Structure 1
Amino acid sequence: MVKHNPIARLLLCCLIVALFVVKTAQAQDFKFAFLTDMHVHSDSTLDQVANRLKALPPQIEFIMSGGDNVDIDNLKKTDLALGEQRLQQLKKLFDQAKKTYHMAIGNHERLPRDLRNGKNDFELFETTFGQTYYTFDHKGWKFIVLNSVEVKDNQYVIGEQQFDWLQDVINKTKKEQPLVIVSHVPFLSVYYPVLEGRYTAADTFTNQKQVFDLFKDHNLKLVLQGHMHLYEEIKVKGVQFITAGAVSGNWWQGSFEGTVPGHLEVDIKGQNFSWKYIK
């Protein structure tokens, strides 16, 4: 007769549980879609966004927005209710897509300039989609969605309150966890050097270096950006920055400087990833 050692059995059970916990905490495989700069402003543009959502393959597990979803900031006060309606209509389209979705805010979703007071700037977006900066985890990866359209001294910035929140998030994140940042206004862009032959801070947020430096001891893999309507790939210090064109292309007038209307599909494989631009 074989004798069973209860202590050995307990240790074996603990080992199995520990291995299961480690396995489930590891980064897993998944795919998601990144749609930026939809600039919905009419029924026809809503229809085109609807068609793109319907065409997403079933393997896409969630949808990530890059901001400038609906044009609000160019409306007159008397037309603001129409802008709110467009936001609700877009939300309905995303709800009908039957996929989890996460929204980022863009500069065109702020209230019109003459209605902003520095505190209510994002209220229509917040009423429809919730917080303008937040995090979520998916299969071992952490996504950090920023509000990069806060303004200080007439320039885009990650404001003090948001910066403190971000610092706290990073301090509570394991250093080995793979990270993705979503920011409407880019950290980095070659838009102006390529198109106009000059460097400018006009379309990057001003404290991007201070924000980037927060991640120096962490596993930041990917930064997804919008705003420029160009498709750009920049890799710095092992971090891949992708400015993912625009669903609206040249504001629904075809291609913009060689970038056709489209979105990004990202394929995560453990700690690695690949991507393709979908026309």
Structure 2
Amino acid sequence: MAHVDRRDFLKLAGIAGVTFTAGLFPDRKISAQTADFHFVQFSDTHWGYSGPANPDAEHTLEKAVATVNGLTNQPDFIVFTGDLTHTTEDAKERRARMKRFREIVGALHVKDVRFMPGEHDASLDAGEAYKEFFGETHYTFDHKGVHFIALDNASDPEAKLGEAQLAWLAADLKQRKVDEPIVVMTHRPLFDLYAKWDWTTADGTKAIDLLMPYQNVVVFYGHIHQEHHDMTGHIPHHAAKSLIFPQPAPGSQPKRVPLPYDPAMSGLGTRDITMGAKITLTELPVSKA
């Protein structure tokens, strides 16, 4: 199966991407029922944030929507991997932010849009408001021969998946073939990236253990506000950039604080993911228009 030519794929004026390609499904057998496709990952939009880390916070999500709407080849679907809104203890304001977020992303040309909670959306009320606007916090779906699993490691204030969700995951995986391509989407990293900064999932190793017998698994997540690539055994994990402000590299400084504002917004972006015999990740900067 041929790779999509990304230079032809991104014809939007002013958009240039950094492309990362890896043989993430080396054992995958291509069949007539499985076709190349692509989707877009948004993460950590933090709608409602106001502060010096992003003076343009009110418009950054709109610009990111415009970036994706400008792609010549529109994605099959779009996924938001958590922290849709910025945290607030005011329940009324929390819902107002979620409502406005839905209005902004409603301008996306692609209408198959899937959401996941981050701790900013869900940890203060166990996902109550989130569910009112976006539905279940964990779920599965299938697309062109790939099985997608959305896990919720944000609603629990202790950053746990919890035994009930782990049992649900185990039951779902029992229905999968060992060589079936599986994409897992989470907000926090499942592995212990840097626990001191809350860049981990308390019981994430249990989920990884459940996934380990499957040959073709890849994990996409957010939370750390930067592009990052890691491996647990044969399972690759790819963090996405934020759409509000970038964070420092894990453990690179004493405290986790947003990086200084860059008017060029070079640390922000969305990700286009092509699924095939290999996976191609193309990082899309936010349009300045």
- Indicate the TM-score class for this superposition, using the shorter chain for normalisation: 0.7 to 0.9
Q: RMSD across aligned C-alpha pairs, in angstroms? A: 2.7
Task: Tell me by how many angstroms 1:59 deviates.
Answer: 4.1
Task: Tell me by how many angstroms 1:74 deviates.
Answer: 1.7
Q: Superposed, which structure 2 residues align to 1:72-91 within 5 Å?
A: 73-91=87-105
More helix by share: 1
Aligned residue number for residue 44 of structure 2: 37
SS of the residue 1:70 aligns to: coil
Of 63, 83, 103 in structure 1, the residue corresponding to residue 115 of structure 2 is 103
Of 262, 277, 283 in structure 2, the residue corresponding to residue 277 of structure 1 is 283
**Larger relative contact order (CA 8 Å, sep ≥ 6):** 2
Q: Which has the larger radius of gyration?
A: 1
Matched, 1:51 2:66: yes
Task: Tell me by how many angstroms 1:225 deviates.
Answer: 0.9
Q: Superposed, which structure 2 residues align to 1:186-197 within 5 Å?
A: 186-188=189-191, 190=193, 192=194
Q: Give the alignment's TM-score, normalised by structure 1.
A: 0.75
Distance 1:28 1:248, change over 3 A: same
Aligned residue number for residue 235 of structure 2: 239
Of 212, 215, 218 in structure 1, the residue corresponding to residue 211 of structure 2 is 215
SS of the residue 1:188 aligns to: coil
Aligned residue number for residue 249 of structure 1: 245
Matched, 1:143 2:139: no
Alignment coverage as a number of residue pairs: 236
Task: Tell me by how many angstroms 1:128 deviates.
Answer: 1.5
Unaligned residue ranges in structure 1 (runs of 5+): 1-21, 193-198
Matched, 1:92 2:106: yes
| 1:15-52 deviation per Cα after TM superposition (whole angstroms, max 9, x unaligned) | xxxxxxx9444x32111111111111275344234323
Aligned residue number for residue 206 of structure 1: 202
Question: Percent of aligned pairs with the same residue?
Answer: 22
SS of the residue 1:60 aligns to: coil
Q: Is the 8 A contact 1:254 1:261 kept in 2?
A: no
SS of the residue 2:211 aligns to: coil
Matched, 1:131 2:129: no
SS of the residue 2:106 aligns to: helix
| 1:53-103 deviation per Cα after TM superposition (whole angstroms, max 9, x unaligned) | 3233424211111111122x3242453442242243145234xx2342211
Unaligned residue ranges in structure 2 (runs of 5+): 1-29, 49-56, 247-257
Q: Is the 8 A contact 2:116 2:137 kept in 1?
A: yes
